[in-house]
Structure 1
């Protein structure tokens, strides 16, 4: 009997944990191996995800109950329900914290599930043992990627469903909350699921390329924050914005629905030679100094707005209508899936070229 077909080989890692390979090298053996190596991470992730989903579901029910108490309309700010839903209330702060955790969930998945998949094998020099059995390194890779990837997808899908529902419920009870604002937009639809899968794959790729866990973790964190800021900056213009002229003080024409995203305009500023954002009747933009001479600040007396109306001042607004949210979800999601494909291709190439003699 050759070493390749021995019933079972056992080895101990440098940290004392046991790495055991299986006799047949088939899918069932790799399922057992994956569970053996990642069971504590899997169990910990399941517990945290269950707590997060349960907590968000409970808060959704509580906010919905307050909404019903106000007869399915916005609660007055001075009402008990309004105080409960206020921005500084414990309920609002808890909801904000949980939804921010959902936003950073993909980074945590990349750090704790993606990076160790290959970096730990390199650090503890167990690849030679794992890949010297009757299974190819590429098959070993794709099987473990599939198993952990399906686990990540299932957990992220559950969290995504709960966060999407909570964001919609919060939007119902908030006067100015738009589902198109970035911190809400990124927590709705399929995005938490897609982004989590993406950073799982990127974590695996960085772990395979760097071969050290800690530097790869820093790489995932830096890459996640950098890409998040880039998407936040660029996503409003992924489709050409619509534009409209609006006269100050005119009746609401319904052009900007609650979930619309204002890309440019909508703010009037005073001071100096900077453009103010206000246009006269001929649609010439006034400078801050010109606007101040025309309608001096009233320090809250209410005369400035009347001056805007009397002088027929206008605003030019570029915006994305709320009806485009599903399209933007698809565009951003496709970008993250493209990055996922690049990361998986990089992992495949790295594994194919790995020198087994070096462990």
Structure 2
């Protein structure tokens, strides 16, 4: 009898232990339960958006196959359904701001404003553990959702990435929504929002300040984006008339164009702009213009530029994270 009882209970006990082992426990469970509505909303929205991108990818491929994809014929871009692609990449470009405001800013500000942080400080758990658990759980959710969105949008955009007419790679709403950039940008705004909320201790005020900070980050990022690449310069000595423009790689991002003179100097291409062709030719002759000098970034540098930029953004995020932990360890409540 005792043998049968022991044998019958062992699998049940093992099964129970297994189920318990798969569940969140302790501080992680508390943090997840506290923010589960926000986290599930973010994950669900990412899944829906990714499914939409996958569907639109198939629609785009169906259209492009009518023009011989992957070797596209002339005129394929005229009827390409670009409106949805443009609208989607514009909306995705707002995600770092939206997530930073609605996920990052309230993360600690809400607890500090409601007094929940004081309650935590009276428990056996340390402040550092409580802080790091909140940051890690939130970071995992943000990374998972933004990675899914980045992969999905990149897959949708990839068939037309060689075009400089439809969603060129150097456009901010394309560059910032593919590769590691959206993940790094979102993490930066989220953790900055957490730090702002920790300092201001008011949820609404923290959200407003985080909004301003996120907008400033976007503006500054747009100014340094092109500096992440190695500028390529090509010059010609065939004049500046028809057919003299240098051959550039497809979808090259032209940063600057100048006239090249015989002594090797550069002058602005608008220097000889005139209403009459005769006046223009006289100006070109006067300055001894012999060709063009073009500075550009090729699409082949896109990946390296993105990873370099992402590493800078992640380094800033790491610094903010260290500040949150160090400040919160002694001054959180």
Query: TM class, shorter-chain normalised?
Result: 0.7 to 0.9
Q: Which residue number in structure 1 is paired with residue 250 of structure 2?
A: 258
- Quote the offset at 1:70 in angstroms: 0.5
C-alpha distance in 1 between matches for 2:131 and 2:268? 63
Does residue 44 in structure 1 map to residue 36 in structure 2?
A: no
Q: Which residue number in structure 2 is paired with residue 318 of structure 1?
A: 295
- Match for 1:295 among 269, 277, 282? 277
Alignment of 1:198-209 (within 5 A): 198-209=188-199
SS at match of 1:353: helix
Alignment of 1:96-107 (within 5 A): 96-107=86-97
The answer (yes or no) to whether the contact 2:146–2:183 under 8 Å persists in 1 is: yes
Alignment of 1:4-23 (within 5 A): none
- Quote the offset at 1:177 in angstroms: 5.1
Aligned length: 302
The answer (yes or no) to whether the contact 2:259–2:289 under 8 Å persists in 1 is: no
The answer (yes or no) to whether the contact 1:262–1:320 under 8 Å persists in 2 is: yes
Alignment of 1:181-260 (within 5 A): 181-246=171-236, 247=238, 248=240, 249-250=242-243, 254=247, 256-260=248-252
Q: Which residue number in structure 2 is paired with residue 55 of structure 1?
A: 52
The answer (yes or no) to whether the contact 1:52–1:98 under 8 Å persists in 2 is: no
- Quote the offset at 1:205 in angstroms: 1.0
Q: Which residue number in structure 2 is paired with residue 66 of structure 1?
A: 63
C-alpha distance in 2 between matches for 1:293 and 1:202? 53
Mark the CA change 1:63 to 1:75 in structure 2 (over 3 Å): closer, same or farther: farther
C-alpha distance in 1 between matches for 2:296 and 2:55? 34
TM-score (norm 2): 0.80
Mark the CA change 1:181 to 1:257 in structure 2 (over 3 Å): closer, same or farther: farther
C-alpha distance in 1 between matches for 2:52 and 2:332? 47
Mark the CA change 1:169 to 1:290 in structure 2 (over 3 Å): closer, same or farther: closer
For structure 2, the 5+ residue unaligned runs are: 1-23
- Quote the offset at 1:330 in angstroms: 2.1
C-alpha distance in 2 between matches for 1:257 and 1:151? 39
C-alpha distance in 2 between matches for 1:94 and 1:71? 22
Q: Which residue number in structure 1 is paired with residue 137 of structure 2?
A: 147
TM-score (norm 1): 0.75
The answer (yes or no) to whether the contact 1:74–1:175 under 8 Å persists in 2 is: no
Q: Which residue number in structure 2 is paired with residue 268 of structure 1?
A: none
Alignment of 1:115-194 (within 5 A): 115-172=105-162, 175=165, 178-194=168-184
- Quote the offset at 1:135 in angstroms: 0.5
Higher RCO, Cα 8 Å, sep 6+: 2
The answer (yes or no) to whether the contact 2:245–2:292 under 8 Å persists in 1 is: no
The answer (yes or no) to whether the contact 1:111–1:217 under 8 Å persists in 2 is: yes
Q: Which residue number in structure 2 is paired with residue 29 of structure 1?
A: 26
C-alpha distance in 1 between matches for 2:96 and 2:332? 31
Tell me the C-alpha RMSD between the 2 structures: 3.0
